[in-house]
Amino acid sequence: MLVRVGCRGSRLALTQAERAADAFRRRGIEIALVPITTAGDRDRTRPFGEIGSRGVFVKELEEALLAGRIDVAVHSAKDMTSTDTDGLVVGAYPTRGDARDALCGADAIRAGMRIGTASARRRAQLLAHEPDLFIEPLRGNVDTRLRKRGERGLDAVVLASCGLDRLGLEAEIGLRLDPDLMLPEAGQGALALQVRIGEDDLVVSIDDEETRRRVEAERRCVAVVGGGCLAPVAAFHDGGTLTGLVAAEDGSWVERREGSDADALGRELAALAAHAARAR
């Protein structure tokens, strides 16, 4: 049996896909990795919001899956839209890695620093923590962003801890940012193995029940906040509590709420965002 596993073509995406492929190989299943270029890979200059925000690294993989060109798509769960695409389902979430963000190039956030990130979520929380920062847009794969930090003379860049860990770049991390300071993106640190509906058996043995419980609560919370919400949004389940966040991109206001019900929490965050929008 040959299973075609689709993924993005970056070094991190291929490394993550290999982790999933190893699980198949241990079951005696032959694997063919199929790298696919996404919209987010092709356009490396414009902000994510201008090219589609969540889903810009996912759409082409999902199209290949629906067309039967691949059998499994391996995504970073944080890149996925908050609702499932018709005809497709996340059949497995392998055990989650470190969900925290990482500060690379410095061991603390200090006033006056120049920090690179393209994420509105990260920008909002950095400025809320320390308003006297200069946040500079920075896109590209992990290696590119680390290189650009030096080329552009930035004091630090913010990346996902899990990606650095998976690439063996832990030494680049000066500080892993506690969720109390920087709430992670919904699904950050987790991989999502997507299949066509009815073909869950391909990946079900790889599924980690606890990771699924947490990540699906985060995704549900973000989905209920809604795509019409233009404010940065985050959600993170630490195993006991689900925390959600909405904020102004300039960090001038940040609202955090906790709850056990993802739907109720999402509605509360949506109301807070709507109220803030009316007040501006």
Whether 101-177 and 1-94+188-207 are alike in CATH topology: the answer is yes
* CATH number for the segment(s) 101-177: 3.40.190.10
Tokens of 213: 């419980």
Dump pLDDT digits (tens) for 231-263: 799 999 999 999 999 999 999 999 999 999 999
Compute how many other C-beta atoms are within 10 angstroms of the C-beta atom of residue 28.
Answer: 7
Of 3.30.420.40, 3.20.20.120, 1.10.8.50, 3.40.190.10, the CATH number of 1-94+188-207 is: 3.40.190.10
What confidence tens digit (pLDDT) does each residue in 156-178 have?
Answer: 999 999 999 999 999 999 999 99
- Secondary structure of the chain in HEC code, one letter for each residue: CEEEEEECCCHHHHHHHHHHHHHHHCCCCEEEEEECCCHHHHCCCCCHHHHCCCCCCCHHHHHHHHCCCCCEEEEEHHHCCCCCCCCEEEEECCCCCCCCEEEECCCCCCCCCEEECCCHHHHHHHHHHCCCCEEECCCCCHHHHHHHHHHCCCCEEEEEHHHHHHCCCHHHEEEEECCCCCCCCCCCCCEEEEEECCCHHHCHHHCCHHHHHHHHHHHHHHHHHCCCCCCCEEEEECCCCEEEEEECCCCCCEEEEEECCHHHHHHHHHHHHHHHHHHC
pLDDT digits (tens, 9 = 90+) for 111-136: 999 999 999 999 999 999 999 999 99
Looking at the chain, the whole-number percentage of residues with pLDDT higher than 90 is 78
User: Residue range 30-47: average pLDDT?
Assistant: 74
Map out the domains of the chain as residue ranges: 1-94+188-207, 101-177, 208-280
Given the residues 22, 71, 79, 250, the one annotated as active site: 79
Average pLDDT estimate for 48-67 = 75
Q: With cut-offs at 50, 70 and 90, classify the pLDDT of residue 38.
A: confident
Q: Would residue 178 show up in a list of annotated catalytic residues for this protein?
A: no
Predicted pLDDT of residue 51: 43
Overall average pLDDT of the 187-212 stretch: 95
Does the domain formed by 208-280 have CATH 3.40.30.10?
A: no
